[in-house]
Amino acid sequence: MVDNYDVIIVSGGAAGLMCAIEAGKRGRRVLVLEHAEKVGKKILISGGGRCNFTNLLAVPEVYVSKNPHFAISTLSRYTSADFIALVESYGIAYHEKKLGQLFCDDSAMQIVDMLLRECGDAAVEIRTSCVVTKVEEDGHFNLTTSLGSVSSESLVIATGGQSIPKMGATDFAHALARHFDLRVTETRPGLVPFTFQPPPLDLFSKLAGVSVDTAVACGGATWRENTLFTHRGLSGPAILQASSFWRQGSQIEIDLLPDMEDAGQYFNNLRTFRPNTELASVVSELMPRRLAQALCGPSGSRPMRSMPDKELADFANSLKHWAVKPSGTEGYRTAEVTVGGVDTTGLSSQTMEARNVPGLYFVGEAVDVTGPLGGYNFQWAWASGYGAGQVA
């Protein structure tokens, strides 16, 4: 026997649950199919367990996409203020950590509980530990699953990308899109640490655990946050941000003195007023001592007065424009998002419906819209799920 629904949503993550809530509010009979034993697993681990649920600065211009204009309509129809209003209606306490990033004061479970209560109020049915093995379309969408066959008028794919496969991430959404003749842009890991080979790795591994305030430039974008040295290369918020813009074989540029406009003049002045001070001591006043000593090398023990103009200028420039070439990234294993996805030319920017397959929708990370670190991708999930839920 086949169970029939108005809307079936594959995956009970952020985008899927939001879509289910909105469709259910319209009186649609909605079924959510989640392959894991519970919904919202990525929500629960986000933000160190406190869920960085949105960002006050989530405007379309900061998202990466082959079509940078696609997200404008969706993000305008459901803003961070809209989700904040929902959070506040449940009395969930939250705070801004930095740069517009909003976190729960208590636990990410509060966000999941809120979404589940909304689903309950909208009479949404949820089946967990349910794996979809086949999708066919004959005027309706017919799904074969590990818990039996189901059918619906509308089908929403909210399974995300390939990031964090240990949590069950697959290319299901992209494979299904291709099955229905939708294009998929090039995909790659995003918000992910960089890996290096020697000689830079020799330096980085010795500095493992050191974190420093930086401005990291890559692909025309610059991010001002910390960089963390690791045994495999570079990580930290600034590096993760840059990784979404990085292409194999290209360099990134690190400014180790982001608050200093003219480093050359700064070091010149110090040489004049503190001529007997060792270079490493001066640099240690600007960044962690281990890093300063490593960057100065053998010259670190020299007094400032012994350094010629050009040598001092070159050194200052190297701190402002440190160019390094990653050998790769940690890959989908640790990537927080998948950059790229279902090509937006095949989707409606208002409803997320496939132009060539009426009733088929793609939302969230599965689509070629990727936000920076810090709640932006959750906001895209809420907004795209909301948009599809209004019509599916």
Mean pLDDT of 206-214: 97
Q: What is the number of other CB atoms lying within 10 angstroms of the CB of residue 199? A: 8
Q: Which long-range contacts (CB under 8 A, 24 or more apart) does 357-360 make?
A: 357/137, 357/180, 357/182, 359/141, 359/153, 359/154, 359/155, 359/392, 360/137, 360/141, 360/154, 360/155, 360/157, 360/180
Reported confidence tier of residue 167, pLDDT bands at 50, 70, 90: confident
pLDDT of residue 49: 94
pLDDT of residue 202: 95
Reported confidence tier of residue 128, pLDDT bands at 50, 70, 90: very high
Class of domain 193-329: mainly beta
pLDDT of residue 246: 96
Q: Distance between CA 279 and CA 303 in Å, rounded?
A: 6
pLDDT of residue 140: 95
The DSSP string of 110-129 is: HHHHHHHHHHHHTT-EEE-S
pLDDT of residue 107: 97
Do 53 and 87 touch, CB atoms closer than 8 A?
yes
Q: Distance between CA 113 and CA 90 in Å, rounded?
A: 10
Average pLDDT, the chain: 96
Which CATH number, 3.50.50.60, 3.30.390.30, 3.30.420.40, 2.40.110.10, labels domain 3-188+338-389?
3.50.50.60
The pTM of the full predicted model, rounded to 2 decimals, is 0.94
Counting residues of the chain whose pLDDT is more than 70, the rounded percentage is 100
Q: What is the pLDDT of residues 175-197, one digit of tens each?
A: 999 999 999 999 999 999 999 99
Extents of the domains making up the chain: 3-188+338-389, 193-329
pLDDT of residue 164: 82
Extract the tokens encoding 262.
């003219």
Do 110 and 104 touch, CB atoms closer than 8 A?
yes
Residue 146 has pLDDT above 80, yes or no: yes
Residue 314 DSSP one-character state:
H
Residue 166 has pLDDT above 90, yes or no: no
Q: Say how many Å lie between the first and final Cα of the chain, rounded.
A: 24
Reported confidence tier of residue 216, pLDDT bands at 50, 70, 90: very high
Strand pairing partners for 338?
189
Q: What is the pLDDT of residues 228-265, one digit of tens each?
A: 999 999 999 999 999 999 999 999 999 999 999 999 99
pLDDT of residue 2: 80
pLDDT of residue 43: 96
Residue 1 has pLDDT above 80, yes or no: no
Q: What is the pLDDT of residues 293-349, one digit of tens each?
A: 999 999 889 999 999 999 999 999 999 999 999 999 999 999 999 999 999 999 999
Residue 212 has pLDDT above 90, yes or no: yes
Counting residues of the chain whose pLDDT is more than 90, the rounded percentage is 95
Q: What is the pLDDT of residues 36-85, one digit of tens each?
A: 999 999 999 999 999 999 999 999 999 999 998 999 999 999 999 999 99
